[in-house]
Amino acid sequence: MTTLIVSYPSTEGGRFDREYYLSVHAPLVLSAWGEFGLQSAEVLFPSPAPQPFACVAILRFSDQIGIDMALSSAKAAEVIGDVKNFTDIIPTIFHADD
């Protein structure tokens, strides 16, 4: 198993719509990337105190090949295109080997 982590850094004046993220974007990611071995997604929101991130998503895939295929698929454009609907923060994406 390998992990793709998507983090949204807290920015002054940054917009992040948690409700949209949970009700629309997270299901979109699961639907779009399930065929590439996405096994689970965990979404973390910080406590109300100032934090370095507005949101962190931990996406667990079967293997690195699945992540590569998901990110290069036509469905990636749909997933990435949806980001503007819930935030104006540019996410940081990185891989973690499990």
pLDDT digits (tens, 9 = 90+) for 33-46: 999 999 999 999 98
pLDDT digits (tens, 9 = 90+) for 66-93: 999 999 999 999 999 999 999 999 999 9
> Packing angle between helix 26-33 and helix 64-72, nearest 10 degrees?
110
DSSP 9-43: E--TT--B-HHHIIIIIHHHHHHHHGGGTEEEEEE
Q: Is residue 97 pLDDT above 80, yes or no?
A: no
Residue 49 · residue 4 · CB < 8 Å: no
Map out the domains of the chain with their CATH numbers: 2-97 (3.30.70.100)
pTM of the predicted model as reported, rounded to 2 decimal places: 0.91
Distance between CA atoms of 89 and 55, rounded to whole angstroms? Answer: 10
